[in-house]
Amino acid sequence: MTAFLIKTLTSAVIIGLVSEIARRSPTYGGVIAALPLVSLISLIWLVRQRQSKMELMLFVKSVLYGLPATFLLLLVLYLLLSRGGSLIFSVLCAGACWWVVWMLQQQLMLFWSRQ
């Protein structure tokens, strides 16, 4: 339980710092938020929990699988917000696009694994 609390507090502090930086400078905040902080923090926690190299490799591979859908989510969100869309509408549309691309990726992976 202590490890979970440490992970949660550390992650919350990093998110808080990034949001404070973004409040003062949206450009710097965006660049920092685009860094793979969550992936790297998660990888560090997995290493500290003595996960095998194979499990670490699979984690990183799974992160890579999520990048196309995440990129699309951010692109759609940017486009909708820049054209005057409300935040809620933009997030819902971007989330729906993310889900569609993610499901398509899953189906493609299943198809390719059968070949």
pLDDT band of 18, cuts 50, 70, 90: confident
CA 42, CA 109: separation in Å to the nearest integer?
24
pLDDT band of 57, cuts 50, 70, 90: very high
- What are 62-110's pLDDT values in tens digits? 888 888 888 999 999 999 999 999 999 999 999 999 999 999 988 988 8
When pLDDT is averaged across residues 35-46 and rounded to a whole number, the result is 84
**Taking a C-beta distance cutoff of 8 angstroms, is the pair 43, 60 a contact?**
yes
One-letter amino acid of 23 = R
**What predicted TM-score, i.e. pTM, was given to this entire model?**
0.71
**Taking a C-beta distance cutoff of 8 angstroms, is the pair 39, 65 a contact?**
no
